[in-house]
Each structure stands twice: as structure tokens, then as C-alpha cells.
Structure 1
């Protein structure tokens, strides 16, 4: 399976609705990563041209993986440890 890169709000809403309909109850890993210098990038190499992080995120040092919150209604993102079970 491939992790999603999201480039606009329409894609974000689609992924959020799909995840919720398939039973994702907390967070869903996306194909994003946060570099050590705090710069976000998509692991598929596509341009980082959209972001839906919660205010204050990404938090430097919290984790380098990007996940979507599937509990809320807006599909906002956080950075998290890559070892967290999603």
C-alpha cells in the first residue's frame, strides 16, 4: 500500500471521509515526513503545496511522520512518532 500525499482541500476531505468510512478511529498516517530542520515533504517526491496541520503543528522534535486526525470533522494533521500504531 502507498501512503497518500495530499495537494488540496478536496483531496484532504476525500481521504478523511474514506478513512472514517473504513473505520479509522484515531489517526491515519499520510505520506508526509518532517525533516530534522522542521521542513515538511511528501515521501513520493511530489511538491508540498498544501497543508492542513492543526495550529502550532508541526512541533519540532515530536516525530517525523504526518498523520491525519480522523476523530474530528476537518481532517487536520499532526506530526507524530513513526512507531505509533495508527
Structure 2
């Protein structure tokens, strides 16, 4: 099996899938950090607008080898200046 994973910049068009993932009970149960209210679309949109506007944060779409959107990953500077991944 030759499995591959690809990254590309997160796009506005991906946000519907992102919020859907954030609302999946199984995903919420496994996540280290979750939204206070995963159904609060206004809070989600405001949060994502801040993240996407922040040039220190790099948001990526994770794609399966077949090009299917399967999640997100982001890098941001830590307090020490080294990049962190979430």
C-alpha cells in the first residue's frame, strides 16, 4: 500500500467541512482542545477569521492520497520563537 498525505493552504471553501468535523461527537471525544460550543457558527467564523488573518499562523488542509480533505494542521510561533504544530 502506498499511502500519501498532502498539505496545501487552508481555503475558505474548506471551512464548512472543518466545522462539520468539529461537531462530530467521536472527533470531539478524541480532541485535546474543543470549542466551548461546537454549534456556535458565529464564534467559529470569528475564530477562523482571526486565524486566517494572522500571518504568524500557517493553516493547512490535510488531504488523503486521493485528494480528499481529511483535516487541518497549523503551525504557529511559541513563546520561545520555535514553531509549534497543532
> TM-score if structure 1 supplies the norm length?
0.30
- Flag the structure with higher helix content: 2
Larger Rg: 2
- Flag the structure with higher strand content: 2
